[in-house]
Homo-oligomer: A and B are copies of this chain.
């Protein structure tokens, strides 16, 4: 397992990938503001300079982490959609996936919230954040539209709005849970999600 000779390009791509993994991890552990580039670089096995050689600054590193996160989410959603047989089954599977992802990485949503607040206040960053985020929501909307077609279901609002509405709920839950993770009862979670899904889809089959 001796380090093979690599071209510059390969090495740099490797470094970038290492920094993304380490960045994600340290951001999750410490939060955006408290994570230091020193710690991230060290966790990846480099020094701070490597970060600046691969990303414009700390903000850009985070946006890249976010981009990678969303890419993997989209892939997961696509997979779930292909597996589900009925719309109800698929929606339930998506809900389950989201709940599991949150349980697996409970700090992700608070981290996103912290970064959103930061990005909203810093003009150029705000734009690049918006681009990545809207790209994600549009990709989710595509999945939702595909699902509708496959299952012959119509929606009361556009797929993009459904994606956004889902995000609204998720982020709202997260905001509320930040103070105390146990504060949202499972009953409340279920009621809200159900109300939300019934409200936005014509599940009864009426296509008016």
**Interface set of A (CB-CB < 8 Å, partner B):** 31, 33-34, 110, 113-114, 116-121, 126, 129-130, 133-134, 156-157, 161, 164-165, 167-173, 175-176, 178-180, 183-185, 187-188, 191-192, 194-196, 198-200
Chain B residue contacts of A165, Cβ below 8 A: 188, 191-192
Q: Determine which of B169, B178, B184 lies in contact with A172 in the assembled complex, contact meaning CB atoms within 8 Å.
A: B169
Whether A121 and B172, one on each chain, are in contact in the complex, defined by CB atoms closer than 8 angstroms, is: no
Chain B residue contacts of A113, Cβ below 8 A: 113, 116-117, 175
Q: Top 4 nearest A-B pairs by Cβ distance?
A: A195-B199, A172-B172, A168-B172, A114-B117
Whether A179 and B129, one on each chain, are in contact in the complex, defined by CB atoms closer than 8 angstroms, is: yes
Known: A120-B178, A192-B199, A199-B199. 15 other contacts (CB 8 A): A31-B117, A31-B121, A113-B113, A113-B116, A114-B121, A116-B175, A120-B179, A134-B179, A165-B191, A167-B172, A168-B173, A168-B192, A171-B171, A172-B173, A195-B198
Whether B110 and A179, one on each chain, are in contact in the complex, defined by CB atoms closer than 8 angstroms, is: no
Whether B171 and A184, one on each chain, are in contact in the complex, defined by CB atoms closer than 8 angstroms, is: no
Whether B169 and A184, one on each chain, are in contact in the complex, defined by CB atoms closer than 8 angstroms, is: no
Chain B residue contacts of A188, Cβ below 8 A: 157, 161, 164-165
Whether A161 and B175, one on each chain, are in contact in the complex, defined by CB atoms closer than 8 angstroms, is: no
20 interchain pairs, CB-CB under 8 A: A113-B175, A116-B178, A116-B179, A126-B179, A130-B180, A157-B185, A157-B187, A161-B187, A164-B183, A164-B184, A165-B188, A165-B191, A167-B176, A168-B176, A169-B169, A171-B172, A171-B175, A192-B196, A195-B199, A196-B199
